[in-house]
């Protein structure tokens, strides 16, 4: 059977690069090649920057309402192509079809939201002590942006970055993850078909080791937006420290959900399970630490264990599947290694904890929902991000100890609490060190107009999403005009 070969968008041309191709594998059955994408060379990357340099000038001179029209049309095309895009998303990343459809819709919403901002006020007037002088503040695009995106939300994360970047008038060079490039190219196709001018968006696929220098050393990009691991984000910040390049990083998380003795467990159990195990735990905002008040510990663990055992593993396109595979064999082995080390350090497995032996799943990257108890705060599993369907349960005596445990992390992305007390809820929001705080809600699932970003090692000071998301992609210019 002929394998599809998808090309990159450079200028307004679809190009195959050097003629070498990368296989995109199905994590539900790694024997299956879903499609191929170009293995671009450093020279190909330079061509993308050439196009972006021209595209930035064209797009900046394009009126905001005209730019908004392109974004709106792209959103419409994404919605119309939901089934095609979602199917490719499942096949390259492993999500369930329902999760993939939801990602396509949410991605369209990013473009709709930022398109709508074109009809809102921008800039402002300020008073000036000089006579006959009007002073104003305006926001301008920064220029060429490099966007590096991860494999876990391969459509949503590019949309989260491209929508505000393009709305603000910038050009973008987009480098999607090696494992999941297909839906990023679908996104490029939608923007191309919506009328985006040549060079405003350019995509680059290829092996990171072969093209990273060309991507990062080109003097024409002035902003880097990155989502991925904390290790890689920190490396990028060091790499660019001597350049006048603004850097936005959305990195790791070790998100804690606190379940207090007064919690509504009928609400807490399914909510925590969905936050921990949904998308096979491959979300930066997934719940990975559960801090439980001692009075309800046994009941909570027993009921969460029942919920974990209710998930049905399988290929994401199968209608009975509620938990798809991890993204790759390497990542599956890494997740299994985290669990094995936790057991060596004294944790107990009460659900999951081993690669399934079902022959139907033998060629996929499957790992079951896993619950670890008897977890102390000196264990590695308490500290390190797993990025899989694994939760570590820690018992505390009271609220103060719960807050202390939740804050006991190098990360600070998302946190949650379950309680019936409004006073306790407000106190938790005040005290917890996290960029997003949820009360009686999952740690994941933030909307496109909600500012998003973490504290500490979870990311930079630049937020994504909402009105805050535009700040990274704009520079501030103050002008004073004496008119008499």
Mean pLDDT of the chain: 97
Task: Check: CB of residue 434 under 8 Å from CB of residue 255.
Answer: yes
Residue 1 pLDDT greater than 70, yes or no: no
Strands 133-141 and 414-418: unpaired
255-448 has which fold? Aldehyde Dehydrogenase; Chain A, domain 2 (3.40.309)
Placement of tokens 């419409």 in the chain: 76
Tell me the C-alpha distance between 86 and 102, whole Å. 9
- Parse the chain into domains and list their residue ranges: 8-251+459-482, 255-448
pLDDT at 484 (0 to 100): 86
Tell me the C-alpha distance between 222 and 144, whole Å. 6
| Lookup: tokens for 474 | 């704009």
Q: What is the pLDDT of residues 253-301, one digit of tens each?
A: 999 999 999 999 999 999 999 999 999 999 999 999 999 999 999 999 9
Q: Where are the alpha helices (DSSP H) in 194-283?
A: 208-217, 230-239, 265-277
Can you give the C-alpha Rg of the chain in angstroms? 23
Residue 1 CB neighbours (<10 A): 3
Residue 308 pLDDT greater than 80, yes or no: yes
Tell me the C-alpha distance between 315 and 86, whole Å. 14
316-350 as b/e, with b when 16 or more CB fall inside 10 Å?
bbbeebbbbbbbbeebbeebbebbeebeeeebebb
Residue 193 pLDDT greater than 90, yes or no: yes
* pLDDT, mean of residues 422-445: 97
Residue 18 pLDDT greater than 80, yes or no: no
Tell me the C-alpha distance between 104 and 309, whole Å. 28
Q: Where are the alpha helices (DSSP H) in 413-454?
A: 422-431
pLDDT at 19 (0 to 100): 81
pLDDT at 159 (0 to 100): 98
* pLDDT, mean of residues 142-169: 98
Tell me the C-alpha distance between 254 and 435, whole Å. 12
CATH code linked to domain 8-251+459-482: 3.40.605.10
Tell me the C-alpha distance between 152 and 166, whole Å. 23
Name the region of 270 (left: φ>0; alpha: ψ -120 to 50; beta: rest). alpha
Q: Which residues are catalytic?
A: 284
Q: What angle do CA 351, 179, 155 make, to 5 degrees?
A: 90
Distances (CA, A) of 419 to 190, 262, 300, 441: 44, 6, 14, 11
Task: Check: CB of residue 93 under 8 Å from CB of residue 180.
Answer: yes
* pLDDT, mean of residues 295-309: 98
């Amino acid at each position: 059977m002929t394998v599809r070969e998808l090309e990159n968008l450079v200028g307004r041309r679809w190009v195959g690069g050097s003629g070498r191709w990368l296989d995109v594998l199905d994590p539900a059955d790694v024997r299956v090649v879903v499609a191929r994408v170009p293995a671009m060379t450093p020279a190909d990357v330079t061509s993308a920057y050439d196009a972006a340099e021209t595209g930035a000038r064209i797009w900046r001179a394009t009126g905001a309402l005209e730019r908004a029209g392109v974004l709106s049309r792209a959103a419409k095309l994404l919605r119309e192509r939901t089934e095609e895009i979602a199917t490719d998303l499942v096949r390259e990343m492993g999500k369930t079809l329902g999760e993939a459809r939801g990602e396509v819709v949410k991605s369209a919403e990013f473009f709709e939201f930022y398109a709508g901002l074109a009809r809102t006020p921008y800039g402002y007037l300020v008073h000036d002590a000089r006579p006959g002088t009007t002073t104003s503040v305006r926001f301008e695009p920064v220029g060429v942006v490099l966007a590096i995106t991860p494999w876990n939300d391969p459509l949503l994360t590019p949309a989260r970055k491209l929508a505000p970047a393009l709305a603000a008038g910038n050009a973008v060079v987009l480098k999607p993850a090696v494992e999941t490039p297909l839906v990023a190219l679908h996104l490029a196709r939608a923007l191309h078909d919506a009328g985006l001018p040549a060079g405003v968006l350019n995509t680059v696929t290829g092996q990171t080791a072969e093209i990273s220098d060309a991507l990062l050393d080109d003097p024409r990009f002035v902003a880097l937006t990155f989502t991925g691991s904390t290790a890689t984000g920190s490396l990028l910040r060091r790499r660019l420290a001597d350049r006048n390049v603004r850097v936005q990083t959305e990195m790791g998380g070790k998100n804690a959900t606190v379940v207090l003795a007064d919690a509504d467990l009928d609400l807490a159990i399914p909510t925590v399970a969905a936050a921990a195990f949904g998308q096979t735990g491959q979300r930066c905002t997934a719940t990975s630490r559960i801090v439980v008040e001692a009075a309800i510990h046994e009941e909570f663990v027993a009921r969460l264990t029942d919920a974990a055992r209710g998930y049905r593993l399988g290929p994401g396109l199968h209608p009975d599947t509620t938990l798809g595979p991890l993204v790759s064999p390497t990542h599956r082995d890494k997740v299994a290694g985290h669990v094995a080390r936790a057991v060596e350090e004294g944790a107990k497995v009460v659900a999951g904890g081993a690669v399934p032996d079902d022959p139907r799943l033998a060629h996929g990257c499957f790992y079951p929902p896993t619950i670890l108890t008897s977890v102390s705060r000196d264990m590695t599993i308490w500290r390190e991000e797993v990025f899989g369907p694994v939760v570590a349960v820690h018992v505390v005596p009271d609220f103060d100890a719960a807050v202390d445990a939740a804050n006991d992390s190098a990360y600070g992305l998302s946190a949650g609490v379950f309680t019936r007390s409004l006073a306790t809820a407000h106190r938790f929001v005040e005290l917890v060190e996290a960029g997003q705080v949820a009360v009686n809600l999952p740690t994941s699932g933030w909307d496109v107009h909600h500012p998003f970003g973490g504290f500490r090692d979870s990311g930079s000071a630049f937020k994504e999403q909402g009105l805050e998301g535009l700040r990274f992609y704009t520079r501030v210019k103050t002008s004073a005009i004496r008119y008499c």
